[in-house]
């Protein structure tokens, strides 16, 4: 098999995106558009990949280098056409002297392109012995594309660009995807002979087809089944449309792998997410980044997980989580916010209106209600009372709180970090803990309850509050009659008033 080189063209501007972000860096399915193309290219195991950058290359070049460090970058200062772009890559491709092997050209803005399709195209090109092969597609509306002009018996004669086409040629619905495969020796020769005498005044790579035909070299087109794979996104509407198609593909794949997705239309799954069989995804759920979900887990409804790991059998309901780990059979939600560094143990619970950050919560430990847990370690089996705040920030620095195994802390506590609560310790309701509670101790910081009898009748006389108190037996006996004319007292409310 001959050596393969791949050129990815990503030098063009993205005017219609109207964005400060380079077009090929716009994302769908959790990856940039060029990231999708590079992933498809990687499946070909090419000997070398050259990416041509130009417009906004200060953004594009580092991104490509991060995704594919082995790729070579070639710079096209001015965008003078697709042939000119490939010429900028000629040295890196080794087209200088005695070139051999195959060169495949792809674009950086076709996010739906699949590796399998590129492989099939390349195999066809190699088996055919052609000088040039075109990956073509038959579309409903060919406007803007180069048309594949076929002669007698369907032999490919040329690619004619929209602006250079005759009315008759414009009616052709077989179009050039832009993905072309070349014998390197032919490409090296052809690049030097392509001119820019055409409607756009550009150097067209598509002119290689007519050049090969003129030289009597074989040319052909390989028609792709799914034309969405070769569609580029030029504006944000097209980007969203391609994103939806990509999502449908990913969601469909997981359903075939044994994942229940109740509502595919409102479920978004990034391409790098991993789901085990019998996971259930409920409506309105987004599984993003490198999220991994274990068997039998139930996610959603209305949940967003980015770069999270969810154990088998866990339930995550109406939750927003990022860089968090949820243990096996653990429970999260509804209305929970898990920030980076949250690690919930097996069988643990993070309940309603609880926010966590940098918090390791042990196996079977529970933070069930209305709490903030930041910079903390909670031992296995511990229970944190409702409405507890781990006050981790003193205005200057962050401090940690440790709660021991099987500790039980009361409701409405504040832990003013640094705090250590020992194994098996307890705290009373409303306690503010500063410092240390030894293992097994009970800490109580709120004072004894003070009750001032008959305060309302004396200090709020004549109000509904005072009337209610007196009707219930509060206040001196003589004053109770005085409230008879007060229409708002409890005794006047209509029967059935307690139903609401
Ligand atoms: C090109 C093809 C056309 C095909 C269509 C598919 C040519 C002459 N025409 O047309 O047959 O149907 O793509 O989408 O090849 N680029 C550079 N440097 C340049 C010019 C372009 O890197 O100087 C890159 C662009 O970033 C883009 C790709 O090449 O990724 C295509 O360029 P574009 O200008 O969009 O070509 P089209 O006119 O659409
Ligand atoms: Ca284009």
Chain segment 209-218, per-residue pLDDT in tens: 999 999 999 9
Sign of the dihedral defined by the CA atoms of residues 183, 189, 192, 196, in that order: negative
Whether residue 250 is contained in a domain is answered as no
* Closest C-alpha among 311, 376, 368 to residue 339: 376
> Are 209 and 151 a contacting pair, CB within 8 Å?
no
Residues 48 and 76 placed together within one structural domain of the fold = yes
- Per-residue model confidence as pLDDT tens digits over 397-452: 999 999 999 999 999 999 999 999 999 999 999 999 999 999 999 999 988 899 99
pTM equals 0.91
Of 404, 412, 410, whose CA–CA distance to 440 is shortest?
404
Last residue of some domain: 190, 215, 230?
Answer: 230
Q: How many CB atoms lie within 10 A of CB 219?
A: 22
Has residue 492 got a pLDDT over 90? no
pLDDT at 98 (0 to 100): 85
Ligand nearest to the CA of 52: 1
Q: Which of 320, 396, 398 is nearest to 358 (CA)?
A: 398
Asked whether residue 21 carries a pLDDT value surpassing 50, the answer given is yes
Q: Quick one: pLDDT band at residue 496, thresholds 50, 70, 90?
A: very low
Average pLDDT over residues 323-334: 98
184 and 285 together in one domain: no
Closest-lying ligand 1 atom to the alpha carbon of residue 232: 14
Please give the distance, rounded to the nearest whole angstrom, from the Cα atom of residue 185 to the centre of ligand 2: 27
493 has pLDDT over 70:
no
pLDDT of residue 484: 44
Chain CA centroid to CA 23, Å: 18
Residue 347 domain boundaries:
258-443
pLDDT at 347: 98
pLDDT per position as a tens digit, 147-176: 999 998 999 999 999 999 999 999 999 999
369 catalytic per annotation: yes
Please, is 346 exposed, middle or buried when counting C-beta atoms within 10 Å of its C-beta (0-12, 13-18, 19+)? middle
* Residue 97, pLDDT score: 84
State the pLDDT at residue 487.
42
CA distance 355 to 248: 32
Task: Provide the token pair at 90.
Answer: 């000629």
* Closest to 405 (Cα-Cα) out of 427, 383, 385: 383
- From the centroid of its chain, how far is CA 391? 31
Residues 300 and 166 both lie in one domain: no
Taking the CA of residue 14 as reference, the ligand 1 atom at the shortest distance is: 26
Answer yes or no: is the C-beta of 186 below 6 A from any ligand 1 atom: no
- Mark 401-430 as b/e (b = at least 16 C-beta within 10 Å): bbbbbbbbbbbbbbbbbbbbbbbbbbbbeb
Does residue 19 sit within a domain?
yes
- How many residues make up the chain in this entry? 500
What would the pLDDT profile of 40-59 be if each residue is shown by its tens digit? 999 999 999 999 999 999 99
| Residue 253, in any domain of the structure | no
Q: Does residue 252 lie within any of the structural domains?
A: no
pLDDT score for 99:
86
Q: Are residues 385 and 471 both part of a single domain?
A: no
C-beta of residue 335 within 8 angstroms of C-beta of residue 353:
yes
d(C-alpha 332, C-alpha 316), whole Å: 5
Question: Which residues 6+ apart lie within 8 Å of 483 measured at CB?
Answer: 466, 467, 470, 471, 489
Asked if pLDDT for residue 483 goes beyond 80, the answer is no
The atom number, within ligand 1, closest to the CA of 234 reads 35
Evaluate: CB of 23 within 6 angstroms of ligand 1: no
Claim to verify: residue 95 and residue 171 sit in the same structural domain: yes
Find the helix or strand (DSSP H, E) in which 469 lies.
helix 464-471
- For residues 402 and 477, membership in a common domain is answered with no
Structure token pair of residue 383:
């229970």
Residues 365 and 473 placed together within one structural domain of the fold: no
User: Could you tell me whether strands 401-403 and 372-378 are parallel, antiparallel, or unpaired per DSSP bridges?
Assistant: parallel
Tens-place pLDDT, residues 225-271:
999 999 999 999 999 999 999 999 999 999 999 999 999 999 999 99
Tell me which of 369, 399, 406, 484 is the catalytic residue. 369
**Could you give the 3-state DSSP secondary structure of residue 403?**
strand
Q: Are residues 430 and 458 in the same domain?
A: no
Radius of gyration of the chain (CA): 34
Express each pLDDT in 170-179 by its tens digit. 999 999 999 9
Give which of 226, 209, 202 is closest to 110, Cα–Cα: 226
| pLDDT tens, residue by residue, 442-470 | 999 988 899 999 999 999 999 999 999 99
What's the domain count of the chain?
Answer: 3
Residue 184 shares a structural domain with residue 59: yes
Residue 231 CA to ligand 2 centre (angstroms): 9
Residues 123 and 192 in one domain: yes
The conformation of residue 398, written as its DSSP 8-state character, comes to B
Other CB atoms within a 10 A radius of the CB of residue 358 amount to: 17
Query: Are 354 and 371 contacting, i.e. CB atoms less than 8 angstroms apart?
Result: yes
Calculate how far, in angstroms, residue 200's C-alpha sits from the geometric centre of ligand 1. Answer: 12
Question: Is 181 within 8 Å of 205 (Cβ atoms)?
Answer: no
Q: Is 178 in the pocket of ligand 1 (CB under 6 A)?
A: yes
CA distance 392 to 24: 42
Measure CA of the first residue to CA of the last residue in the chain; give whole Å.
Answer: 80
Nearest CA to ligand 1 atom 35: 12
Q: Give buried/exposed letters for 235-271 (b at 16+ CB in 10 A, else e).
A: eeeebeebbebbbebbbeebeeeebebeebebbbbbb
CATH number at residue 366: 2.160.10.10
Please check the confidence at residue 74 and state whether its pLDDT lies above 80: yes
Question: Is residue 244 domain-resident?
Answer: no
Ligand 1, atom 26: closest residue by C-alpha: 12
pLDDT digits (tens, 9 = 90+) for 338-394: 999 999 999 999 999 999 999 999 999 999 999 999 999 999 999 999 999 999 999
Q: Is the residue at 246 inside a domain? A: no
Tell whether ligand 1 has an atom less than 6 A from the beta carbon of residue 301: no
Q: 454 and 438, same structural domain? A: no
Residue 94 near residue 2 (C-beta atoms within 8 A): no
What average pLDDT is seen over the chain? 94
In a domain, 490, yes or no: no
Residues 6+ apart with CB under 8 A from 190: 182, 207, 208, 211, 212
Q: Give the pLDDT band (50/70/90) at residue 488.
A: very low
φ and ψ of 35, to 5 deg: -65, -40
The verdict on residue 106 lying in a domain is yes
Taking residues 184-207, report their average pLDDT. 97
Label the pairing between strands 372-378 and 442-443.
Answer: unpaired
126: helix, coil or strand? helix
Domain identity same for 405 and 462:
no
What's the 107 CA to ligand 2 centre distance in angstroms? 9
Please give the pLDDT value at position 495. Answer: 37
Q: How far apart are CA 225 and CA 241, in angstroms?
A: 19
Residue 78 CB neighbour total at 10 angstroms = 10
């Amino acid at each position: 098999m001959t050596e393969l080189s791949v050129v990815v063209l990503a030098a063009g501007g993205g005017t219609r995106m109207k964005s400060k972000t380079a077009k090929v860096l716009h994302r769908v399915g959790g990856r940039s558009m060029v990231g999708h193309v590079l992933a498809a290219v990687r499946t070909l195991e090419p000997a070398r990949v050259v990416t041509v950058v130009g417009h906004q290359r200060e953004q594009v070049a580092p991104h490509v280098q991060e995704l594919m460090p082995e790729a070579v970058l070639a710079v096209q200062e001015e965008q003078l056409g697709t042939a000119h772009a490939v010429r900028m890559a000629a040295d890196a491709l080794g087209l200088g002297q005695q070139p051999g092997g195959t060169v495949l050209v792809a674009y950086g803005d076709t996010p739906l392109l699949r590796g399998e399709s590129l492989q099939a195209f390349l195999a066809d090109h190699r088996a055919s012995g052609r000088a040039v092969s075109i990956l073509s597609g038959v579309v409903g509306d060919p406007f803007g594309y180069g048309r594949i002009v076929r002669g007698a018996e369907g032999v490919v004669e040329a690619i004619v660009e929209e602006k250079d086409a005759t009315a008759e040629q414009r009616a052709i619905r077989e179009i050039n995807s832009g993905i072309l495969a070349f014998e390197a020796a032919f490409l090296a020769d052809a690049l030097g002979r392509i001119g820019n005498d055409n409607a756009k005044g550009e150097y067209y790579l598509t002119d290689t087809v007519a050049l090969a035909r003129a030289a009597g070299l074989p040319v052909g087109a390989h028609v792709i089944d799914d034309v969405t794979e070769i569609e580029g996104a030029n504006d944000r509407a097209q980007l969203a449309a391609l994103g939806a198609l990509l999502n449908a593909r990913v969601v469909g794949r997981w359903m075939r792998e044994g994942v229940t997705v109740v509502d595919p239309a409102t479920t978004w799954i990034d391409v790098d997410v991993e789901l085990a069989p019998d996971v259930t995804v409920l409506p309105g759920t987004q599984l993003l980044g490198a999220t991994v979900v274990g068997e039998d887990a139930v996610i959603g409804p209305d949940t967003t997980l980015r770069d999270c790991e969810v154990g088998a059998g866990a339930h995550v309901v109406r939750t927003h989580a990022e860089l968090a780990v949820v243990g096996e059979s653990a429970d999260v939600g509804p209305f929970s916010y898990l920030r980076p560094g949250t690690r919930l143990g097996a069988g643990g619970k993070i309940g309603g209106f609880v926010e966590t950050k940098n918090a390791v919560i042990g196996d079977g430990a529970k933070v069930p209600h209305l709490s903030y847990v930041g910079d903390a370690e909670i031992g296995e089996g511990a229970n944190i009372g409702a409405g507890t705040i781990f006050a981790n920030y003193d205005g200057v620095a962050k401090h940690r709180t440790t709660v021991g195994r099987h500790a039980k802390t009361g409701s409405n506590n504040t832990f003013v970090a640094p705090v250590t609560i020992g194994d098996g310790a307890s705290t009373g309701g409303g306690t503010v803990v500063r410092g240390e509670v030894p293992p097994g101790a009970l800490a109580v910081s709120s004072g004894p309850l003070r009750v001032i009898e008959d305060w309302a009748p004396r200090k709020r006389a004549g109000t509904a509050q005072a009337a209610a108190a007196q009707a219930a037996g509060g206040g001196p006996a003589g004053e109770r009659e005085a409230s008879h004319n007060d229409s708002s007292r409890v005794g006047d409310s209509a029967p059935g008033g307690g139903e609401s």
